[in-house]
Amino acid sequence: MEKMISCFLLLVGVFLIAARERRVPESLSSQRNDALLLEEFCSDKRLDLVFIIDSSRSVRPYDFEKVKEFILNILQFLDIRPDVTRVGLIQYGSTVKNEFSLKTFARKQDMERAVRRMMYLSTGTMTGLAIQFAVNIAFSETEGARPLSQNVPRVIMIVTDGRPQDPVAEIAAKARNSGILIFAIGVGRVDMNTLKSIGSEPYEDHVFLVANFSQIETLTSVFQNKLCGKAVN
Ligand SMILES: *[C@@H]1O[C@H](CO)[C@@H](O)[C@H](O)[C@H]1NC(C)=O
């Protein structure tokens, strides 16, 4: 009898271990399913979207990878095609580096590869300069922005973790007044007033603060709703 019980307990133990091991791939596959669902959700959404990514020294390499993951997650649910959603990517430190323009990639796979290959700059925090670059260059028709007459929503998503070394309020206001919707995402000890001077109003819909770069992924579903839904029109 005792043998039977210990044999039974052993079997239960093996079963539990096996169940736990199985859980990892299961959650991976359900993530993949979510991604497919998300992809359908944003279909046919006309949008010109430019990411502006802080690449200052305070953003450590591990954090920078988290930002890349976040961008890749957002790309998953976008309908990237030249006549639907176009995406550009800028990173900035003490200078501004255009990674790709709105017109650069017609296929999502090519864009994803470029995001993965993006190299971290590790210099200053010229946030104002980066927004100015977006307004003057990234959203120009020569760089692939669709003409204003087509009424394609223009959106900036800016991710920053620090205090800008240059004035941002005025240039961000100029961007918003030109019809660009700005989502400002702050990470860590970012000054909320600075974020508010960048993002569009109402702030509760466009300005976000997360504790650290690992937390940024919690915003993915928020942006799925915002970018695909009626909020961006
Ligand atoms: C990030 O912030 C969350 C929430 O405050 C915390 O639980 C987590 O430990 C932090 N992660 C890192 C890597 O600091």
Ranges under pLDDT 50 in the chain:
5, 7-40
- pLDDT more than 90, % of the chain: 72
**β-pair partners for 185:** 159, 208
Atom nearest to 211 CA in ligand 1: 2
Ligand 1 centroid to 163 CA: how many Å?
21
User: What does pTM read for this prediction?
Assistant: 0.83
Name residues contacting ligand 1 (CB within 6 A): 211-212, 214-215
Secondary structure (3-state) at 147: coil
Atom nearest to 212 CA in ligand 1: 1
Nearest-CA residue for atom 5 of ligand 1: 211
Domain limits, the chain: 1-41, 44-228
Side by side, which strands form the sheet with 96-100? 96-100, 85-92, 47-54, 154-160, 180-187, 207-210
Ligand 1 centroid to 190 CA: how many Å?
16
How far apart are the C-alpha atoms of 36 and 154, rounded to whole Å?
Answer: 25
Fold of 44-228: Rossmann fold (3.40.50)
pLDDT tens per residue, range 67-124:
999 999 999 999 999 999 999 999 999 999 999 999 999 999 999 999 999 999 989 9
